[in-house]
Structure 1
Amino acid sequence: MLSKIANFINKYYPAAVAGLILFLVGIWVGQNATLGFLKTGSARTPVSLSNRASPSGVTVDFGEFWNVWDKVTKEHLDKKGVDQQKLLYGAIGGLVNSLGDPYTVFLDPENNKSFNSELSGVYEGVGIEIGSKDGRLLVIAPISGSPAGKAGVLASDVIAKIDGKDTSSMTIPDAVKAIRGQAGTNIKLTLLRDGKAIELDLKRAKITVKSVDFVDKGAGVALIKISRFGDTTKDEWSDAINKFVSEGFSKLILDLRNDPGGRLDTAVYVLGEFVKTGTVMVQEEDANGLRQEFKSDREGRLQAVTPVILVNKGSASASEIVAGGLRDLLGSKLVGEKSFGKGTVQKVEDLTKGAGLHITVAKWLTPKGTWVNANGGLSVDFEVKLTEADIASGKDPQLAKALSLVK
């Protein structure tokens, strides 16, 4: 297995990153050799190792690592609570976290299962997508109708505490694990909004997310809302477009507000609905500056339609790819507020025993070469605020502006 990992790393990553990632491999290397970190006469805690082969080119001294491992396993007060598998996962997590990239993460089997269930659209929790900006955890988007959505959680709320525990040193997977839980159980969140602390007591629930909704707004105008780009989005999108075409709609508002993103291939598929075969819809740029173009592989059914697009601070990643692509390619107007600004691509790898690894491998760029991180998100053509008072009264001035543009 290690040889496969080494081959993968050598194939896809620069030497500097590979050396850091392969730090973990030392966990399996040389345990049966005599290391010079123990005092004379002290005995090492026995460790049975597997997959000990070291990849070529790794010259890291693991003496200090094993020194700490030995002290923890021998000297910690709660020896029965020392779980070697957890120590291993902790070492891997620390290695990955040392990169300082909140979106390059190691997921233990429990967290990886949770991630996959979210993409499928069904999980248990409070209904928020978590991200990181300027070193703080924050809400990318609340899910409509979820406990968080009903409690008034908003995009860009900073998550300061989870059940009273400060989040400043938490990773995104740590926060997700803390917030997720069995439906019917309670959790307390402390949020910061405009410098003001907001305390919320929430009851977890089963969250089922339908990723695409279709609304007839009259006069040939359709509103299609995409809540996320998940495993079922392609089929749901196709159903919506079938309805749009078969029932004679001619104008479209595409609502990407509070859409935290998801699958890149699904975003590309949605973009392909509006363009000809061979059109460049998005680009990836790797660490060496090499670019790869993603082109449409089909004739889109909505080539005669230029949608008006709704975005806000909760529009991130894949939703920004769609919004930025449609503006570059069709001149679509963006209405609402500046988007979140997540312009990187993560490669998802399944590891042994159900664990997973997400590694940032590239930037994504719009067809014209714009990187959203450079400007902190996509700027809108028509800025319209949606206030808490608007939400409480059922008003939607952003949608009203979009309707005035499309009709």
Structure 2
Amino acid sequence: MNKFILSIIVLVISLNFLHADVKADKKEEQSRFESLSKLTNVIGTVEKYYVDDLKLQQIVDKALKGLMQELDAHSTYMDKKYFKEMQIQTDGEFGGLGITVGMRDGALTVISPIDGTPAFEAGVKSEDIILKIDDKSTLNMSLDEAVSLMRGKPKTSITLTVVRKDVRKPLEIKIVRDIIKIESVKAKTIGKDILYLRVTSFDKNVVDGLTKAIKDAKGIKGIILDLRNNPGGLLTQAIGTTDLFVDKGIIVSQKGRDDSSEETFNANYSKTLTRVPLIVLVNGGSASASEIVSGALQDHKRAILVGEKTFGKGSVQVVLPITADKSEAIKLTIAKYYLPSGRTIQATGITPDVIAYPGEAVKAPDMDFMIKEADLKKHLKSELEKVDGKDKDVKKETKKDDKKIITDEELFKDNQLKTGVDILKSLIIINK
């Protein structure tokens, strides 16, 4: 009898839970209906009473734009005209400025100018805030609208009005558009045993370019990987770049709202090229893919990061058509990137191990006025100064200018690079 009563109680509880679930589903469905009804009422009211005569399609387009802008800085709605403008032109008649921009606290901000591009040559800097594009204010302008305005035919000019940190008045910078051709990987040497690798953006050629540069370098004892003002690019290239230096473990993972959007990318032992000491240079213009590389190398304790805190763009976007003819689309944020330690990049960025600011490095004072042993009249000759028993003047070896070599003079003009080189030299000595 007790078992029978217990069964009845269990059945009643189950029915109550089922009833509660049904009620919850009904409540959620009612809430969705009320929300959609509210949206329809607002659209109808605007169509009927707004001061200007707006067609229903115009109202819906504006509603969609507002919705996407409210989600985050990288999500956007693209109508037919705008989506067509954003597609790559087959005739190659469209040029650009060579800058990557993003939204920071609602302001259109330069993430970084790309080396050698019109914007770089004109003096645009990372973290400049763009107030106006020609005569159009960027206030309440979407990110993609701004990009569309800055894009145009080569050899046409554009004026950006920017606000720069520590500069009291806005600056007007005139730039002439051009076809952007980027050399994504540049390799140089510092001294006899340091390889300097500059990656300007993560396009499809980066891993191949780095692989060639590392394999071609002989007698290298340390590497400087310069990711400053690198706005990012392809995730596959960021993973491949990290894989050149890390032989095992997670490189990066992406997580969205459900398990289906989760994905983890691991290092492959067979792709690792070198284990020499590594320094990575970063700054506020290092974003997205460059943050994945620098953050993963930092988490694996494979590199020491030198420079300034990075931009903090760690989200994943996809373009999704929303009409049958695929003439309109939305760009939607669907996931965030997470580093091997589990930390996120988004809105936090990567903090370097050693903070170093841009500018010239401090040089040692000139001590030539001090008397040394060699200045004494009867000083003992160095063995290096004697040849066949005769005194010989020691002549300094002069080097011809070489674009593949970073000179001491160039090094002292770049405090962040100089700091990285000094740390790397210490690591090389320790590893001997």
Provide the residue aligned with 2:253 in structure 1.
283
| CA 1:95–1:331: 2 relative to 1, 3 Å | same
| CA 1:282–1:123: 2 relative to 1, 3 Å | farther
Q: For each residue in 1:107-152, what CA deviation from the matched residue of structure 2 results, as whole angstroms up to 9, or x when unmatched?
A: 346655666659xx99612221110111111100011222211121
What is the identity, as a one-letter code, of the residue corresponding to 2:344? W
What is the identity, as a one-letter code, of the residue corresponding to 1:93? K
Q: State the identity %.
A: 33
Out of 337, 357, 364, the residue aligned to residue 330 of structure 2 is: 357
What is the identity, as a one-letter code, of the residue corresponding to 2:68? V
How far apart are residue 331 of structure 1 and its match? Answer: 3.7
User: Is 1:158 paired with 2:129?
Assistant: yes
Give runs of aligned pairs for residues 6-405 of structure 1, distance below 5 A: 60-61=36-37, 62-66=40-44, 68=46, 75=53, 89-99=61-71, 101-108=72-79, 112=83, 117=88, 124-194=95-165, 196=168, 197-230=170-203, 232-233=204-205, 236-248=206-218, 249-276=220-247, 279-287=249-257, 292-297=263-268, 299-350=270-321, 352-373=325-346, 376-387=348-359, 395-405=413-423
Residue aligned with 1:93, SS: helix
What is the identity, as a one-letter code, of the residue corresponding to 1:367? P
For normalisation by structure 1, the TM-score amounts to 0.73
Q: For each residue in 1:349-382, what CA deviation from the matched residue of structure 2 results, as whole angstroms up to 9, or x when unmatched?
A: 35544544322122212111122346x3211122
CA distance in 2, matches of 1:362, 1:64: 31
Larger displacement relative to structure 2 (136-145 or 238-247): 238-247
CA distance in 1, matches of 2:128, 2:287: 15
For normalisation by structure 2, the TM-score amounts to 0.69
What is the identity, as a one-letter code, of the residue corresponding to 1:294? F
Residue pair 1:344, 1:363 contacting (<8 A) in 2 also: yes
Residue pair 1:311, 1:337 contacting (<8 A) in 2 also: yes
Residue aligned with 2:244, SS: helix
Residue aligned with 1:287, SS: coil
Residue aligned with 1:274, SS: coil
What is the identity, as a one-letter code, of the residue corresponding to 1:75? D
Residue pair 2:95, 2:179 contacting (<8 A) in 1 also: yes
How far apart are residue 302 of structure 1 and its match? Answer: 2.5
CA distance in 2, matches of 1:256, 1:113: 32
Q: For each residue in 1:4-24, what CA deviation from the matched residue of structure 2 results, as whole angstroms up to 9, or x when unmatched?
A: xxxxxxxxxxx9xxx9xxxxx
What is the identity, as a one-letter code, of the residue corresponding to 2:69? N
How far apart are residue 296 of structure 1 and its match? Answer: 2.5
| CA 1:96–1:388: 2 relative to 1, 3 Å | farther
| CA 1:135–1:87: 2 relative to 1, 3 Å | same
Residue aligned with 2:108, SS: strand
CA distance in 2, matches of 1:291, 1:152: 40
Q: For each residue in 1:144-183, what CA deviation from the matched residue of structure 2 results, as whole angstroms up to 9, or x when unmatched?
A: 2222111211100011111132212111011111111111
CA distance in 2, matches of 1:122, 1:406: 45
CA distance in 2, matches of 1:200, 1:348: 32
Residue pair 1:275, 1:299 contacting (<8 A) in 2 also: no
Q: For each residue in 1:328-367, what CA deviation from the matched residue of structure 2 results, as whole angstroms up to 9, or x when unmatched?
A: 1134111111111112222333554454432212221211
| CA 1:146–1:380: 2 relative to 1, 3 Å | same
CA distance in 2, matches of 1:206, 1:98: 33
Q: For each residue in 1:170-201, what CA deviation from the matched residue of structure 2 results, as whole angstroms up to 9, or x when unmatched?
A: 11011111111111222111100125311112
Q: For each residue in 1:14-59, what CA deviation from the matched residue of structure 2 results, as whole angstroms up to 9, or x when unmatched?
A: x9xxx9xxxxxxxxxxxxxxxxxxxxxxxxxxxxxxxxxxxx9897
Larger displacement relative to structure 2 (105-114 or 315-324): 105-114
| CA 1:224–1:89: 2 relative to 1, 3 Å | farther
The higher radius of gyration belongs to: 2
Larger displacement relative to structure 2 (189-198 or 287-296): 287-296
Q: For each residue in 1:207-231, what CA deviation from the matched residue of structure 2 results, as whole angstroms up to 9, or x when unmatched?
A: 112222222334232222211123x
What is the identity, as a one-letter code, of the residue corresponding to 1:404? D
How far apart are residue 92 of structure 1 and its match? Answer: 3.2
CA distance in 1, matches of 2:93, 2:359: 29
Unaligned runs of 5+ in 2: 1-24, 363-408, 426-432
Q: For each residue in 1:293-330, what CA deviation from the matched residue of structure 2 results, as whole angstroms up to 9, or x when unmatched?
A: 22134522335234200101100111101000001113
CA distance in 1, matches of 2:329, 2:221: 44
CA distance in 2, matches of 1:115, 1:176: 9
Unaligned runs of 5+ in 1: 1-14, 20-55, 77-81
Provide the residue aligned with 2:386 in structure 1.
none
CA distance in 1, matches of 2:52, 2:142: 28
What is the identity, as a one-letter code, of the residue corresponding to 2:250? V
The number of residue pairs the alignment matches comes to 338
Residue pair 1:125, 1:205 contacting (<8 A) in 2 also: yes
